[in-house]
Structure 1
Amino acid sequence: MKLTRRMTLAAFAGVLALGTAMPAYAADLIAIITPSHDNPFFKAEAVGAEAKAKELGYEALVLVHDDDANKQSELIDTAIGRGAKAIILDNAGADATVAAVQKAKDAGIPSFLIDREINATGVAVAQIVSNNYQGAQLGAQEFVKLMGEKGNFVELVGKESDTNAGIRSKGYHDVIDDYPDLKMVAQQSANWSQTEAYSKMESILQANPDIKGVISGNDTMAMGAYAALAAANRKDVIVVGFDGSNDVRDSITSGGIKATVLQPAYAQAQMAVEQANDFIKNKKSPEKEKQLMDCVLINGDNAAKLETFALKN
């Protein structure tokens, strides 16, 4: 395999680590880099971005960083070495990602971030994110209603390096903490993981058998928590998630999880590609770097209309 002149050893190693063949250098390539597709939210991002890129006439290079900042840096080296015209990125850490995006910018490749912000401005061309605070408040209001404004509850928090985890938690508490009869008896990070949420929920339930509700930073953790509760014959416990996944939709329609908050992953990714295309072809940047997309409450009333992180008309 012959390396192109611009391909770094780190980029070559990144390609080999993926276990995929390296396509020929592409004149019109968009790199799409997200966390693991094991999470349906990130898969929807990749699918949406890839579909829009191909529709606009680009080759798409879809890569996964597994929330590993070092791997992410290697994949950005790969995008640079392949001469990508733009990078669509759901990043691996608000602080750890800044240098990698700056590296792409220095190489003349613009980055369009989706879902997660970074702790810097002027490095990426765009940061298109869900209005996590607004969405969390929607979820918290529904949670309060479902709980009848009282009872012990648990919060499962996402990965601490992810800005969204803190924003969602604050949105939850800015609503829930106004109700003195709602008492949080446990708050633990399950790192966005279903398996970890299952394990954490088992332990929390043993220590706090009288809990009435669980509010989760994402749907994946909500699914893990609900599975642990079901295994303990505690389907009476109210569970609310955040993301709007098909799995939680199915749980809601079958009477399991009670609600979630839809963030438009597919549309967000497609918007990023459209803005990248405008930048590539017209040298036009969006009016604002940081762009917020409002979230929508999903419960028994509208869950049947939910499909792949979008509401059907």
Structure 2
Amino acid sequence: MAKKPYMKLTGMMLLTAALLSACGGGTGAGTGAGASATPGAQQASEAPKASAKPAETKSAEKIYIPVISKGFQHQFWQAVKQGAEKAAKEFDVEITFEGPETEAQVDKQIEMLQAALGKNPKAIALAALDTKAALPLLQKAKSANIPIIGFDSGVDSDIPVTTAATDNKAAAALAADKMAEAIGKEGEIALVVHDQTSRTGVDRRDGFTEEIKAKYPNIKIVDTQYGGGDQLKSTDLAKAIIQAHPNIKGIFGANEGSAIGVVNAVTELKKDKIVVIGFDSGKQQIEAIRSGKMLGAITQDPIGIGYWAVKAAVQSLKGESVPKTIDTGFHWFDKTNMDSDEIKPLLYN
């Protein structure tokens, strides 16, 4: 009988020890001996989650707009990029700006457009090198309710919501008038154009050619060549034109690379009397005009083109009214006005 109280006491002690052990195990996970360190540990482990969560939410909510240009090598496209980035900052959207190495790489641009669609953008801004090649992907974007904004050359299709660009036909017609005036409204001339597949290539070629044919019957266009906007190729083409037509009086280069190619050809062949007129307004053309190797050129507003491409995308996504075309303007510049308050801001290095 004496053993019974002892057994009860022992049982109670064992039960107490088990309960203490269980409490101690729980305490080790959150309170108890580790209590003074635990709040710090919790802050350390939870703080990153707290700071990361808003960042993830912001990134998820931020509008993403890929901007796909026709190229990246010319200063013109760097100026367009500057304008696009300005708008992205102003409207708090995320953009990427890319283009193929040369304006002849249609397949490369199509790959970029395909990759952009794969990132589920809210809208896409595109300066198409070849509208026909891009159409299947543009249709895919339309089916996914992704607005397409054309810029610079735009897209020859009804799919784009709007196009932010120069009136290239009117601009090229002005270049034709300046050419006619410079050569006394008679003689042989030629064109070196960047391509015959983009809207800018077609419109600048046609705008120049149609103006000459309509207004200057004594001027003959003897050749039109396409150099892909590449300076070296355009140089070779211009040299071939000059050699085939020794009496040629003037050559129009329809974009930055084309125009510099013509200047190089005239310089290498020492044919300084040939009138060279360009399009765009990068550093090399500015220097050529100052030196007298080029009479003048048409300047666009590349920063404005990039800015409006992104702004129009944002407006479209907000359901705001956007005009079908956004005319970003153009001007003729030469030695007489290139340092004026109106023209100087439109020239770029």
Contact 2:124/2:148, CA 8 A, preserved across alignment: yes
Which stretch shows the higher mean deviation, 111-120 or 180-189? 180-189
Distance of 1:70 and 1:26 partners within structure 2 = 31
Contact 1:128/1:272, CA 8 A, preserved across alignment: yes
**Counterpart in the other structure of 2:87:** 52
- Find the partner of 1:113 among 139, 150, 165: 150
Gaps of 5+ in 2: 1-58
More helix by share: 2
Matched, 1:41 2:76: yes
Shift in Å at residue 96 of structure 1? 1.6
Alignment RMSD: 2.3
**Counterpart in the other structure of 2:202:** 166
- Find the partner of 1:191 among 196, 208, 228: 228
Shift in Å at residue 26 of structure 1? 5.3
Give CA deviations for 1:123-151 in whole Å, capped at 9, x if unaligned: 22212221011111111111111111122
Distance of 2:296 and 2:76 partners within structure 1 = 16
Give CA deviations for 1:49-72 in whole Å, capped at 9, x if unaligned: 123212322222122245444433
Report the TM-score when normalising by structure 2: 0.75
Gaps of 5+ in 1: 1-24
Give CA deviations for 1:23-61 in whole Å, capped at 9, x if unaligned: xx7542221111221122222212211232123222221
Give, as a single letter, the amino acid of the residue that structure 2 aligns with 1:294: G
Contact 1:46/1:269, CA 8 A, preserved across alignment: yes
Contact 1:155/1:186, CA 8 A, preserved across alignment: yes
Give CA deviations for 1:226-246 in whole Å, capped at 9, x if unaligned: 111111111221100112333
Give, as a single letter, the amino acid of the residue that structure 2 aligns with 1:267: G
**Matched residue of 1:117: which SS?**
coil
Give CA deviations for 1:180-238 in whole Å, capped at 9, x if unaligned: 33222322222222111100112222222222211122232111111111111112211
Identity between Structure 1 and Structure 2 (%) = 25
- Could you say which structure has the larger radius of gyration? 2
- Find the partner of 2:256 among 213, 216, 219: 219
Change (3 A) 1:186 1:252: same
Q: Which runs of 4+ in 1 moved over 6 A?
A: none
**Matched residue of 2:109: which SS?**
helix
Distance of 1:106 and 1:198 partners within structure 2 = 43
Say how many residue pairs are matched. Answer: 285
Report the TM-score when normalising by structure 1: 0.83
Matched, 1:61 2:133: no
Give, as a single letter, the amino acid of the residue that structure 1 aligns with 2:97: V
Shift in Å at residue 308 of structure 1? 7.0
**Matched residue of 2:339: which SS?**
helix
Matched, 1:136 2:172: yes
- Find the partner of 2:217 among 166, 180, 205: 180
